[in-house]
Chains A and B, each alone.
Chain A
């Protein structure tokens, strides 16, 4: 460890001109040979940008990269490859009609003479590589039949076959079961022993603490520090990852603590323009209130598809003034469930009732016409039009109100936009293109549009994504406030903790089945986690008792 780092990134600064997001500020990273190195940080801390810069995929504004003692030129993926940087992306893709072998040798095919592919030699070389690294994979099979774990193995083998000395894995366990994950960590361990550097990029602290030898923490685009693994425990790590706050503060942004400045924004947002008929209720204590009318009801809804995940016999009831959190693994049904809720997928069987009436025509248009707010996961792709102006992004759901005889008077749309922006404390020119705004400001525009008018139902997916701490607190206050006014809120999230700490009821989606827990107070994070991964599907388990809640909170923060 006393020797020089094999890879050294210094002073990396990157601001994306498209959205003004400052992804990296003077960030640094040192990677040594023969180690497992964890690069940790929250969503949006700048981890991905940093490794994309290292891989030559993104050009930094400033900074240097030294690999094995020599400076490499930036934004040159081929040079990064030559220098031994191998990146395994979060979403591994392969040519499905090719076998694992054919995918593997793509780009570095062993040839005999003028272009004759030596398949046998390739297979032998890869067999040797697998024996050497302890990775087992059927490379004769077509990759169409590969599981997420097998694709991941394929990507690792590809990188190693291409001569990588530094293997970077972006959230490698995101789509894997616990058992699969453990298998991968033993592979990583083995690889590190052969002298490779293995860099694991993750926001899952718990699973990295054991295997990692060194940890680099990022926050808000900066490198907070580099620590030997023994120096930190989980709670210490968590508090370093979360800016200027104890980890506890992050867990419970309740509607009551309004000391931060964003509190005012939220109050303005929710008290602003609910011109409908908000039924004011006292407090937020309407957990499982059986008296409230059922707003949305799924009974036996199934979505079957030839490939990929499906949804099986989904049933639940959402009452007015209830916050229902549904969690699961995105690729294993949660995305599909979002598409179903958004109306782009039609169920094969089962019925959906809204306000007691059966939903006959299932499309985004009918849902929107019913006045449902929807904040999609893909904020930029589905939530806004980057080339349009802020104003044009704001008026989409209010066209009926704003147009007269089909004409949209500019004065009216302008006034509407200015007022909507005021509600979310965003003082900016509504006629400018929205891509000039920062990511956080864009989120506020989306919130202003979706929640600017009274809604019976709010569907919000991955509410924390792309938001900083203040933004998250504002978001939760808004949702809790809406709930207290009688709006039903449906939160889809792949992050357990946010769902645990706010929902009246929780649903866990696994293998296409939804298990509903009406009393989430008794569930612990690890219980929920193993349910997500299919440890047990008996369902309807209510937790031990509510007095344990403080302990659960504690455990959550430990694993933040």
Chain B
């Protein structure tokens, strides 16, 4: 059984990451190809601006989803619907873009990003509300809602919103005026990393220096204690879930306006799930989320580089992620720290 207490040990994370790297090297070693392949794995993400920037961009998006997960986790709630929240957020952002006149510019982009956040927020907040009101397990409900949202967005992309001129399953591009600035051409890196860092700093301050942050953490650590102490625990079930949803939606919006400029079917794949891994690596500490996202993005980029340039199968990526998940979740098992 999963423990619902937020884990916060950094030491375990470091061991888990080191082990994941070892697994990756082991697989590379077994599959042959010698030192060249290993160096591709390790140096690949830094070999050119394109790979490097894309890695940073990915890290920015992962920071946002990781933050969303950590905030919910700190309050003792579990947001398992990240995938759907990212996807729905992107849809909300896209709809705002096509409804606004193309001359709306950066103001329009801001509005679209807010709408994207709002899309994720609504989806996640409902799970929090249902938990507060009816005691519905938010872990299940957020997952189910997300699983329902994804095909809905897919339907819109493949149907009413499809760009019939494209070979990809995608919508038409948004107006160029809404594009977010590129920071590291020719890569995709845009504002996602700076925004991620900014929000991580804000979340750290909120959590550890303010009264709502204190009440949120106490609720997460011992809901009964918080309740008997007069904390509005119901509120701290809904708000962190909602904030988490907002961060996920933002990630979707940033991916839309910063990277893809259109809704592409399945673009969000992994952002939600990997956000959980990032949050776990960071020990749910918002200040550690950005470094954790960088490490995770590096692992992904490295296996991608090895895949592209050193003829390693597509599975390497999946195996490394599985190893990280597995090793990190070992710490959740019951019996940790118990007698004998």
Residues on A lying within 8 angstroms of B by beta carbon are 17-18, 58-59, 75, 342, 344, 364-365, 367-369, 374, 376, 378, 381-388, 392, 395-397, 399, 403, 406-408, 410
Contacts and interface: CB of A to CB of B under 8 A. Distances in A.
Contact of B211 (A17, A384, A386, A403): A403
Nearest to B5: A387
Which of A58, A397, A407 is packed against the most chain B CB atoms within 10 Å? A407
Interface of B: 5, 209-212, 214-215, 217-218, 221-222, 224-232, 337, 339-340
Contacts of B217: 388, 392
18 contacts: A18-B337, A59-B339, A365-B227, A368-B228, A368-B229, A374-B228, A382-B228, A383-B225, A384-B225, A385-B225, A387-B222, A388-B217, A388-B221, A395-B214, A397-B229, A399-B211, A407-B209, A407-B210
A365 B231 contact: yes
A154 to B, nearest CB: 27
Given A387-B5, A387-B221, A392-B218, A406 B228 contact: no
Contacts of A378: 224
Nearest to A369: B230
B335 to A, nearest CB: 12
Given A58-B339, A385-B221, A388-B221, A364 B210 contact: no
Contacts of B230: 364-365, 367-369, 396-397
B214 A408 contact: yes
A392 B231 CA distance: 13
Contacts of B340: 59, 75
User: Which residue among A344, A408, A410 has the maximum number of chain B CB atoms within 10 Å of its CB?
Assistant: A408
Given A365-B231, A369-B230, A386 B222 contact: yes
- The secondary-structure label for the interface of chain B is helix
A342 B230 CA distance: 10
Given A59-B340, A365-B230, A369-B230, A408 B210 contact: yes
A399 B214 contact: yes
The 9 A-B pairs at the shortest CB distance, nearest first, are namely: A368-B230, A385-B222, A59-B340, A396-B229, A385-B221, A403-B211, A59-B339, A365-B230, A385-B225
A394 to B, nearest CB: 11
Given A59-B339, A385-B221, A388-B217, A407 B228 contact: no
A542 B305 CA distance: 88
A407 B222 CA distance: 22
A365 B233 CA distance: 10
Contact of A385 (B210, B218, B232): B218
Contacts of A367: 230
A364 B227 CA distance: 7
Contacts of A384: 222, 225
A384 B230 CA distance: 13
B225 A406 contact: no
Contacts of B210: 403, 406-408
Nearest to B205: A407
A17 B340 CA distance: 11
Given A58-B339, A376-B228, A399-B215, 15 more contacts: A342-B228, A365-B230, A382-B224, A382-B225, A382-B228, A385-B221, A386-B222, A387-B221, A396-B218, A396-B225, A396-B231, A399-B211, A403-B210, A403-B211, A408-B214
B11 to A, nearest CB: 16
A364 B229 CA distance: 7
A403 B218 CA distance: 16
B9 to A, nearest CB: 11
Contacts of B221: 385-388
A14 to B, nearest CB: 9
A136 to B, nearest CB: 39
B209 A364 contact: no
A365 B232 contact: yes
A139 B208 CA distance: 56
Contacts of A395: 214
A407 B211 CA distance: 6
A342 B221 CA distance: 20
Nearest to B230: A368
A225 B225 CA distance: 40
Contacts of A75: 339-340
Contacts of A383: 225, 228
A59 B337 CA distance: 13
A386 B221 CA distance: 8
A401 to B, nearest CB: 11
Contacts of B225: 381-385, 396
Contacts of A376: 228
B207 to A, nearest CB: 11
A15 B209 CA distance: 36
A138 to B, nearest CB: 35
A385 B227 CA distance: 11
A367 B228 CA distance: 9
A381 B211 CA distance: 22
A298 to B, nearest CB: 20
A382 B230 CA distance: 12
Nearest to A370: B230
B229 A392 contact: no
Nearest to B218: A385
A17 B214 CA distance: 27
A364 B222 contact: no
A397 B230 CA distance: 8
A407 B231 CA distance: 16
A410 B340 CA distance: 38
Nearest to B206: A406
Nearest to A404: B211
A67 to B, nearest CB: 19
Nearest to A400: B211
Nearest to B214: A408
Contacts of A407: 209-211
Contacts of B226: 385, 396
Nearest to A388: B221
A364 B228 contact: yes
A381 B232 CA distance: 18
Interface centre among A59, A367, A384, A399, by most chain B C-beta atoms within 10 angstroms, is A399
A406 B211 contact: yes
A432 to B, nearest CB: 15
Contacts of B339: 58-59, 75
Contacts of B215: 399
A335 to B, nearest CB: 14
Contacts of B232: 365
Contacts of B209: 407-408, 410
Given A364-B227, A397-B229, A397-B230, A406 B212 contact: yes
